[in-house]
Amino acid sequence: MKTKVSIVPILAIIAALLIAGCTYSQASNGAGNTTTATPPPTTPPTPPSPPAPPGPTGTITAQIKEFTVEGSEFKFTPNSISVSKGDKVSITFKNTGKFPHNLIIDELNVATKTISPGQTDTVEFTASKSGTFATYCSVGNHRAQGMEGWIEI
């Protein structure tokens, strides 16, 4: 009776050893295949996001001082403009005369195109320095005849 009972765990141990050995040989064979291991997944680099746009444009628009200056023979209307230093200035020059005209401010590097009667040209600039600077038409002798004014910053 005792020998019959005790043989069962022995068989179980033998079976376990056989299974373990089989598993071990499979593991060994498998170890030889490590060269076919799949590479780690590569994630594409995320493109840099564009810089955030500046603040609301309304605040910028509020700082622009807009003027319309009419040029004719031989005067500017109005002939004076007053702004504060640092202001962004937009001048729309309109030729209401019969000859081509323009509007120049040398000290601020401002110049409209020379435009024909009835046309307009707009220039925008920053009032970057204080002073009183001449505005004039550079066509012919128009300045000497009165196409002259000033901008006060």
Q: How far apart are CA 72 and CA 22, in angstroms?
A: 106
Question: Least Å distance between CB 139 and Cu ion?
Answer: 4
Pick one of 142, 149, 151, 153: the residue that binds Cu ion (CB under 5 A). 142
Question: Least Å distance between CB 77 and Cu ion?
Answer: 13
What are the φ and ψ backbone dihedral angles of 150, each rounded to 5 degrees? -155, 160
Segment 89-108, which members bind Cu ion (CB under 5 A)? 101
Closest CA to 79 of 148, 4, 5, 152: 148
Q: How far apart are CA 56 and CA 43, in angstroms?
A: 36
Q: How far apart are CA 111 and CA 123, in angstroms?
A: 7
Pick one of 89, 147, 151, 153: the residue that binds Cu ion (CB under 5 A). 147
Pick one of 105, 108, 137, 153: the residue that binds Cu ion (CB under 5 A). 137
Size of the site for Cu ion (CB under 5 A): 5
Binding region for Cu ion (CB under 5 A): 101, 137, 139, 142, 147
